[in-house]
Amino acid sequence: QGTRDHAPAQTALRDRLLSAVVSCFKRHGAAAIDTPVLELRETLMGKYGEDTKLIYELQDQGGELLALRYDLTVPFARYLAMNKITNIKRYHIAKVYRRDNPAMTRGRYREFYQCDFDIAGQFDPMIPDAECLKIVHEILSDLQLGDFLIKVNDRRILNGVFAVCGVPESKFIPACSTVDKLDKVPWEEVRSEMVGERGLSPEAADRIGEYVQLHGGLDLIERLLQDPKLSQNKLAKEGLGDMKLLFEYLTLFGITGKISFDLSLARGLDYYTGVIFEAVLLQQENEHVEEAVSVGSVAGGGRYDGLVGMFDPKGRKVPCVGVSIGIERIFSILEQRLEASGEKLRTTETQVLVATPQKHLLPARLKLISELWDAGIKAEMLYKKDPKLLKQLQYCEDTGIPLAAIVGEQELADRVVKLRDVATREEVRM
C-alpha cells in the first residue's frame, strides 16, 4: 500500500531526527502552526504542475469535493489568506499524501512526513532567502549525513534563458519540468524530450543546453551578468542581481563552500517565482574518483510570492520563501547505515530500572518507582512479583538502560538504595 509500520527502533530514530530539525527551526524563532489533513479539492488543484495527478481526491462528501493535502505549502498559503496574516515565520511538521508509485528503499511513500520552514512578509531582497539556506546547511551538518551540496537557481533566470533561446512563454513551465530531470538523466535525453514531447525547436533546445549545463559561484553570476543576450532580458537581469546579493549574504554566513549556483535546477512545482534550491547528499564512489556523485535530494524549497494572492478574495499578495526537509529520505539513509553497522538503537529513554534481589519485595519496588516517576525520572520495572536479579540486570543490558536501583532486605533495613552502573558493574549506596 506504499506505507509501512515502524518498529520501536525505527520510531526512535525518526523521533531523534525530528527533534534535531525542530530544534533548528526554533533556534531561528519560528512558531509552530498546524493545518488540516483535508483541504477543498479546488485549493490544491493547479498548484503542482504535472504532479497534480498525484493528489488523493475523495468522493463527493455531500456537495463538498475534498482531497488529502499534497504538501504543507499550499495549505499554509491558504491559511495566510483566510486569516489576513501578512507577516509570520513558521514551521510545520506533519504527514502529507501522494498517490505515487512507492519506492520504499529510497524513502518514497504515499504517506510521509514533511518538515517545513517558511518566512512570509515584505522584506528587503534575499535576507529571508539566505536564512532558509542557512537552515538547510545547519540541519544537514547537525545530522552528520556526510558531504552535501545545496544547488541554487532562480526561476526568473530560467525564464530569461528560455526567452532568449526562443521558447514561447506558454512553454516555459513544461520546459522547466523537463530541465528538472537533468540531475537524473543525461542532457541528450532531456534534449530529445524538449524537441519530441514539448515541441521546442532543435535550435532552441541546443541554445538552452549551453546555459543549463553551467554551474559555479559568484564568478559564474558575474559572467552571466555580462552575457550579451541574458543581460538584455529584464527577468534574467533581476534574477542574476538578486543571486549576486544572495551569494554575498551566504559568504557572510560562511556557507558558500557547500552552495552551487546551478542553472539546471528547475524544481517542477508551478508556484515558485524566484530563488529555488535543493540539497543533495554526495557520495564518494571510491578513493580514486575525485568528483563525488549525488545520492538524492534531501531538502528543497524556494520563493513563492504569488501563491497567497490566489486565495485572497482581493488578490492581495504576501511574499513567501520556504524550505522543506526530506526527513523520510534522510530516515531511509540513516536506517540503512544503522543496519550496516549492526549498531542497536535504544527504543526507550528509560534512565533506571528498579530491581529487587529477593522475593516478596514488590511493595518496595512499587513505592520506589512511584517516587522516581513523581520526581520526573524515567524509570521501569519488570511486571513480575519475584523476578530473579540476573534477569532484571539482563533486561537492562538488552534495552540499554544505564542504571539499576536495587532495594533488598538489607537496603530497606539501612534505609538506602544500591545504585548500579549496568555497563561497569560499579555500585554505590545512597
What's the whole-model pTM score?
0.86
79 marked ligand binding residue: no
> How many percent of the chain have pLDDT more than 90?
63
Among 34-38, 228-232, 295-299, 421-425, whose mean pLDDT is lowest?
295-299
Rounded Cα gap, residues 57 and 398, in angstroms: 46
H or E element, residue 82? helix 73-82
What homologous superfamily is domain 352-429 in, according to CATH? Anticodon-binding domain (3.40.50.800)
Q: 28: alpha, beta or left, given left = phi > 0 and alpha = psi -120 to 50?
A: alpha
346 marked ligand binding residue: no
267 marked ligand binding residue: yes
| Over residues 46-71, mean pLDDT | 86
383 marked ligand binding residue: no
Q: Which sequence spans correspond to the domains of the chain?
A: 8-341, 352-429
Please name every residue paired with 90 in a beta bridge, in sequence order, or none if there are none: 31, 118
- DSSP-based helix, strand, coil % in the chain, nearest 5: 45, 20, 35
72 marked ligand binding residue: yes
281 is written with which cell numbers?
547528499
**Each residue's pLDDT tens digit, 229-257:** 898 999 999 999 999 999 999 999 999 99
Note the pLDDT of residue 104: 66
424 marked ligand binding residue: no
Coil, helix or strand at residue 410: helix
- Please say whether the beta carbons of 50 and 268 come within 8 A: yes
Mean pLDDT over each residue of the chain, to the nearest integer: 90
- Please say whether the beta carbons of 221 and 149 come within 8 A: no
Cα 112-116-120 angle, rounded to 5 deg: 150
304, 131, 92, 275: CA torsion to nearest 10: 20
> How many percent of the chain have pLDDT more than 70?
96
- Please say whether the beta carbons of 333 and 14 come within 8 A: no
**Each residue's pLDDT tens digit, 123-177:** 999 999 999 999 999 999 999 888 999 999 999 999 999 999 988 888 888 888 8
User: In CATH terms, is domain 8-341 a member of 3.30.590.10?
Assistant: no
**Each residue's pLDDT tens digit, 166-209:** 888 888 888 888 888 887 888 899 899 989 888 888 888 998 99
Burial class (CB in 10 A: 0-12, 13-18, 19+), 19: exposed
In 3D space, the residue among 309, 268, 299 whose CA is nearest the CA of residue 136 turns out to be: 299
